[in-house]
Structure 1
Amino acid sequence: LILEQILADFVDFTDSNRVLELEEKNKQIKKEIRDLQEHFDRESLDKFNQILLNMYFDEEVEKNVNYVKEDREADGFAFSFNPLRQRLTVKRNDKVDPNQEKVQISFIPGSLARRTHMQI
C-alpha cells in the first residue's frame, strides 16, 4: 500500500509531456549514435587497433613484464577501441562451454597492472 501511494504521488507530480519529450529526444540520440557507428571507416579503426596492440607488445616491455608475454601467447588476444564510448575492449579466444569450439570473448583483465598498462 505504501509503495502504491508513493507511485501514485510520483505519477501526480510527473510532467507526462516532459517525459514523452525526453523519450523522443533519447530515441533521436540513439539513432544518431547508430548512424555515426555505421559511417566509421572500419579499415582505419582496425589499423588503429593494430597500432595499439603493437605498442602494448613492445619488445622492451615484453622482456620486463611477464603478463605481456602471456597476453601475446593467448589465442586471439586483441584490442577493440570504440571511439564513441572511448572504451577499449580486450578480447581473446576461449571456450565458454567445454563442449563448444573456442569463440572470441570480451573480458576485463584481472590484474590492475594490466588494466593500467592498457589504459596508458
Structure 2
Amino acid sequence: MKKLILALLAASTILVSCKKDSDKKPDDSAGSSRTVQYEVTGNFTGSLIASYTTAAGGTVNDEITALPWTKEIVYAKSVTAAIIAISGGGGVAGQKVKLVIKRGGTQVGTAMEAVAGPSGGFSQAAPVIVF
C-alpha cells in the first residue's frame, strides 16, 4: 500500500510540473501584433501597384497614386501569413521606391528598396510576415 501511495504521489508530481508550451498566452509585444503597416516612399514617377494580403486573407492590387503611401491592416486570427509586393512601370531608370513594414508599430527587418531598371520598371516582393 505504501508503494502504491508513493507511486501515485510521484506520478501526480510529474503531471503537475509538466505543462504544455501551448498553454502559454502570447504577450502584446510587436512580434505578436496582428496590425501591420506598409509605408512606401521614394522618387519613382511611373505607375505603381501594391499587391498585398487583405485583412481576411485574400489578395488585392491597389494603385499607388502618390508617394508617400501608407496602408495599415489588422489581420484576422484566421490569417497565418501576409505578404506585399510592389511593382512599377513607366518610370526612369535609377528611380527608387523604399518599403518599410511595421508590425505593432515596430519595424520588421530592414527596409526593402527597389530600383527601376533600364526599362523604367521593377517588381519586388517583401519577406513574408508569419503570424
TM range, normalised to the smaller chain?
Answer: under 0.3
TM-score by length of 2: 0.23
Larger relative CO (CA 8 A, sep 6+): 1 or 2?
2
Decide which structure has greater helix share.
1
TM-score by length of 1: 0.25
